[in-house]
Structure 1
Amino acid sequence: MNKRQARVFAIVSTAIASVAFLGLTLDSHRQFDKLTNANAITDQVTRGKDVWHNNNCINCHTLFGEGAYYAPDLTKITQLRGEAYLRAYLKDPAKFYDENKHRRLMPRQNLSDADITGLIAFLDWVSKVDNQGWPPRPLLVTGATFPGTDRNASQPPRGEAAGAGAAAATEDPVALGEAVFRSAVPACTACHSTAPGVNMAGPSLAGLASRTQALLASSEYHGHAKDLAGYIRESVLTPSAHIVPGAMYSADGKSFMPATYPSALKPEQLDHLVAYLSTLK
């Protein structure tokens, strides 16, 4: 290739690349409203965005993986925690965490009820933006690890997709139940650890079987279950039937546990989940 041919090649390549870049840019702008659910941006969402910026939330938190990494990524937080939990948490974070133990206590912002409502609306809008799977999973700061590993208790195991596929290929209800535990929407692992003493947004499920037997035999239980399997089903389907003591688990007599599982889980998935959780002795 001589100099003239090289020059022509460079000019043509640059032109083609420029046209492709402009085309992709225009196509992205064409889809922005749809991808970001622009039609769902209400006055509350806008107010929540202002609350987010005015309180410098991004100095600690991230959205879509962008921001500071001192505190959890909040891209999908409304789907993981729910409005009741977030409202109570934003009113007084000190009820949920011990600063001396966790060392990441969120400061109390003294937000008004209207500001909290707006902020939750904004975060809910963020959670429904088509981020095409980024970040790969929320960053949940707990400081907990699975026994014998360096893996955070709130994160799915490495190679989760392969593990889920393996579970799907087996008839073992316990293995299938563990897959449900990690893949339900929201995932049980987002709020519960199976490590002893590691309480997240929900209590640790370590020793669930033995603790449940003692609870059912005591006067402290206020639900309707008669055995372990019944208690697990009740906890998933009607979580407020029995309130686990602790300000971080409920408010005004209602559990923070999502009430969406009756429609989100198929009967066989619930059966498998019960089988798995029943093994946590």
Structure 2
Amino acid sequence: MNKRQTRIFAIASTAVASLLFLVLTVDSHRQFPELTNADSITEEVVRGQDVWHANNCINCHTIFGEGAYYAPDLTKITQHRGVPYLTAFMKDPSQFYDEQTHRRLMPNPNLNDQEISDVIAFMDWVSKVDNQGWPPRPILVTGGSIPGTDLSIAQQQERGEATVAEEGATGSLPPGARPVSPGNDPIALGQALFKTAVPTCAACHSTAPGVNLAGPTLAGLATRAEEVIASPDYKGKATTAEEFVHESIVDPSAYLHPGPMYSANSVSFMPTSYGKDLTSEQIDQLVAYLMSFK
């Protein structure tokens, strides 16, 4: 091309690129209200955002990939933890994590009940924004160690050495679990539900021995269920391990696992929505999978 043709090509290319950029910008703004659930921005959500900023939560936590990356990403926190858990946690974080066991201790923000409710409303709005699948994995915060290692799961995840807790140190199946194939195998279907139900069970429960997350580890659940039923402290209606696991899914407060991390005021932090959101067949599949952990 000669100089005149080169100049025309450069000007035309710039014009086309500018026009394309303008069209994409207008289209993005057109979709923002739907993508961000703008209709769900209530006064409570706005107040919660103000509390979030006033306490500089982003100095430690991350939402939408923005923040300090010092503490867990909270973009989907309300989908991983229920309102009772989040409320109890913000009232007194020290009962969940301590500096002797965990490297990082969240300070008590000293929020009143209204401020806590507002923050949860804000985080719930955040969790429902279409963010193209961010973050890519559930948060993992625990003082337990992955078997065969000296580092906690949280520490290994920071170093890129840990994946999900249930895989253990080598990526093998958890103790007590057996290899399954897809199809109509209820254990395989239950395993899929364990990872895909909303809220996902894997976000709160590990299947590795000794690794307690927001919920207790499910390693050895079948054996532990029999022990609980035989205990005089058990006041539920289950008479078999299978019935106990089923009861724990649909009525989590029927038996409260010991420890302040798991309940408050005789109410379990585990969501009560599974009995309504899952079919009886799906619950049976989930029970079959959990019963494989002897």
Fold in common (TM above 0.5):
yes
Alignment partner of 1:35 is 2:46: no
Deviations 1:117-146 (A, max 9, x none): 111111011111121222323433336565
Please tell me whether residue 268 in structure 1 is matched to residue 278 in structure 2. no
Distance 1:92 1:21 in 2: 48
User: Does 2:231 correspond to 1:218?
Assistant: yes
Q: What does residue range 170-249 of structure 1 map to in structure 2 within 5 Å? A: 170-249=183-262
Q: Select the residue among 144, 151, 156 that pairs with 2:162.
A: 151
1:155-176 Cα distance to aligned partner (Å, 9 max, x none): 8899xxxxxxx97842322222
Gap change, CA 1:27 and 1:176, over 3 Å in 2 = same
In structure 2, distance between residues paired with 1:5 and 1:168? 63
- 1:232-258 superposed Cα distances (whole Å, 9 cap, x missing partner): 110000111111121111111111000
Show the counterpart of 2:174.
none
1:23 and 2:23 matched: yes
Higher mean C-alpha deviation, range 72-81 or range 263-272:
263-272
CA contact (8 A) 1:176 1:273 kept: yes
CA contact (8 A) 1:145 1:195 kept: no
Whole-angstrom distance in 1 between the partners of 2:79 and 2:93: 19
The percentage of counterpart residues that share the same residue type is: 62
- CA–CA separation in structure 2 for the residues paired with 1:61 and 1:173: 39
The equivalent of 1:120 in structure 2 is 120
Checking the alignment, whether the CA contact within 8 Å between 2:208 and 2:219 is kept in structure 1 is yes
User: Structure 1 30/14 Cα, relative in aligned 2: closer, same or farther at 3 Å?
Assistant: same
Looking at structure 2, the residues matched to 153 and 222 of structure 1 have their Cα atoms a distance apart, in angstroms, of 34
What's 1:161 paired with? none
Q: State the SS of the aligned residue for 1:109.
A: coil
Structure 2-normalised TM-score?
A: 0.87
2:72 aligned partner = 72
Q: 1:113 to 1:156 in 2, by over 3 A?
A: farther
**Corresponding residue SS for 1:90:** helix
Question: What displacement does 1:57 show?
Answer: 0.5
| Contact 1:144/1:152, CA 8 A, preserved across alignment | no
Alignment partner, residue 130 of structure 2: 130
Give the aligned CA root-mean-square deviation in angstroms. Answer: 2.2
Relative to structure 1, the CA distance from residue 207 to residue 155 in structure 2 (aligned partners, 3 Å threshold; closer, same or farther) is: closer
Output the amino acid matched with 2:203: A
**8 Å contact from structure 1 (residues 49, 122) kept in 2:** yes
Q: What secondary structure, in the 3-state scheme, does the structure 2 residue paired with 1:102 have?
A: coil
Please list the CA deviations of residues 86-115 of structure 1 after superposition, one character each: whole Å capped at 9, or x if unmatched.
000000001111221112221111111111
In 2, Cα distance between equivalents of 1:221 and 1:75: 37
Contact 1:154 1:191 survives alignment (8 Å): no
Structure 2 portions without partners, runs of 5+? 150-160, 172-178
CA distance in 1, matches of 2:141, 2:59: 15
State the TM-score, normalizing by the size of structure 1.
0.91
8 Å Cα contact 2:252-2:272 kept in structure 1: yes
Q: Is the 8 A contact 1:180 1:273 kept in 2?
A: yes
Give the Cα separation in 1 of the matches to 2:4 and 2:99.
69
Q: 1:167 to 1:18 in 2, by over 3 A?
A: farther
Counterparts of 2:191 and 2:148, CA distance in 1: 18
Identify if the C-alpha distance between structure 1 residues 43 and 76 changes in structure 2 by more than 3 Å, giving closer, same or farther.
same
CA distance in 2, matches of 1:168, 1:32: 42
| Equivalences, count | 274
Partner letter of residue 113 of structure 1?
A: D
Tell me the amino acid that sits aligned with residue 151 of structure 1.
A
2: CA distance, partners of 1:4 / 1:134: 48
2: CA distance, partners of 1:251 / 1:139? 22
CA distance in 1, matches of 2:50, 2:232: 48
